[in-house]
A = this chain, B = another copy of it.
């Protein structure tokens, strides 16, 4: 039975290159359902909603909504806020006041937790409402889904960046012998692993990949680096910002408490430079660190076409399911065919998704702990939306030498 009322949509957590495609999917699908009245957007997620900062998204032109597909970062504004009991009471009052019957929150596991709790509070108060989550995270660490919208694009960026910065090192290895590309990834190595998609031929960069799923051993790392450097053509390494030691502690964290958010996540970053220092000290070899930081998650020019299409599909599916009566669930992506690659949407309970994290499985990590496996490449390659542009490879046919020595 059709539930009449307004839609409220919000974006939460770290932006991605395609979170706005999910927003476009929600808006475009919502306009197709006569039971839906207003389409409201939270300004800066639940934080702005608590201040009653809400935008009328029906006022946007079709062209603007379509342009969201190509627009990275979170167009509504985002936040990362842990709610108090008072907050939930206020949210309920606002939902009732604005006759919100459909809530779509685009985010990761913290956002799934928030959505789940809002749904529960509404249910307990007898406010009939459908709450459906739309998955979003570059970290790709949500459970119950084949992968997460946002991941394909950050993976494409890193494949491009490591291929190009890798060629840079191959060219300059007599000066800058080692390059470390530090990627995002708090607890899971999915983003770092995507650097492997840069490889086109055996021996191509990256030569080494270190993931937070395996304890980092400085001695083994230095042995690995030395072995690659000794081949004489430089060494390109992808490392995760969240690398941990034997005891599970992050190798490098931001030294100020100001870098800890309301969920208790400490700001990471800087492990690439720390490892350059280690290589200089222990091996006497020059190393450089590149750390694209938030550029990698928001770089529009590296959007994966597959990712854009799936992000929109997930947004639209959330509206469809909610209109069918689904609530308390998140949309998932299910790989229904490997070759050709094809995903459909499914659902998983928000409560199950909330606060669960999915690390890289063992079968995607090389036994030596310094690389990924072919199974990972098979999993990840379709997600980046087509092959990387083709580059020239010179044969470099030697001219016979004329001088001795």
Task: Give per-residue flags for A51-73: 1 if the beta carbon is below 8 A from chain B beta carbons, else 0.
Answer: 01111110110001101101111
Given A79-B174, A267-B286, residue A398 in contact with residue B281 (CB < 8 A): no
Check if A134 is an interface residue, CB within 8 A of chain B.
no
Q: Which of A125-133, A161-169, A358-366 contacts B (4 or more CB under 8 A)?
A: A161-169
Q: Are A161 and B295 in contact (CB under 8 A)?
A: yes
Q: How many residues in A have their beta carbons less than 8 Å from beta carbons of B?
A: 99
A60 to chain B minimum Cβ distance, whole angstroms, is 6
List A72-88 residues whose CB lies under 8 Å from chain B: 72-81
Question: Nearest CB to that of A174 among chain B residues?
Answer: B79
Question: Nearest CB to that of A56 among chain B residues?
Answer: B397
Extra pairs beyond A161-B299, A168-B298 (11, CB < 8 Å) = A41-B394, A43-B396, A55-B397, A59-B397, A64-B395, A70-B390, A80-B175, A98-B399, A164-B299, A167-B298, A259-B280
- Please pick, from B56, B164, B179, B277, the residue contacting A398 in the complex, using a CB distance under 8 A: B56
A162 to chain B minimum Cβ distance, whole angstroms, is 9
A84 to chain B minimum Cβ distance, whole angstroms, is 16
Residues of B contacting A54 in the complex (Cβ-Cβ under 8 angstroms): 398-399
26 contacts between A and B (CB under 8 A): A15-B168, A17-B164, A52-B402, A55-B395, A55-B396, A55-B398, A59-B397, A64-B393, A67-B392, A70-B389, A71-B391, A72-B164, A72-B167, A73-B167, A73-B168, A79-B174, A164-B300, A165-B293, A165-B298, A256-B277, A259-B280, A289-B293, A290-B294, A292-B292, A300-B389, A301-B302
Q: Count the copies.
A: 2
Q: Which 7 A-B pairs have the closest CB atoms?
A: A290-B293, A73-B167, A67-B392, A97-B402, A74-B171, A256-B280, A59-B397
A53 to chain B minimum Cβ distance, whole angstroms, is 7
Residues of B contacting A258 in the complex (Cβ-Cβ under 8 angstroms): 280, 284-286
Check if A93 is an interface residue, CB within 8 A of chain B.
yes
A396 to B44 CA separation, bound complex (whole angstroms): 11
A154 to chain B minimum Cβ distance, whole angstroms, is 12
Question: Nearest CB to that of A273 among chain B residues?
Answer: B270
A80 to B254 CA separation, bound complex (whole angstroms): 35
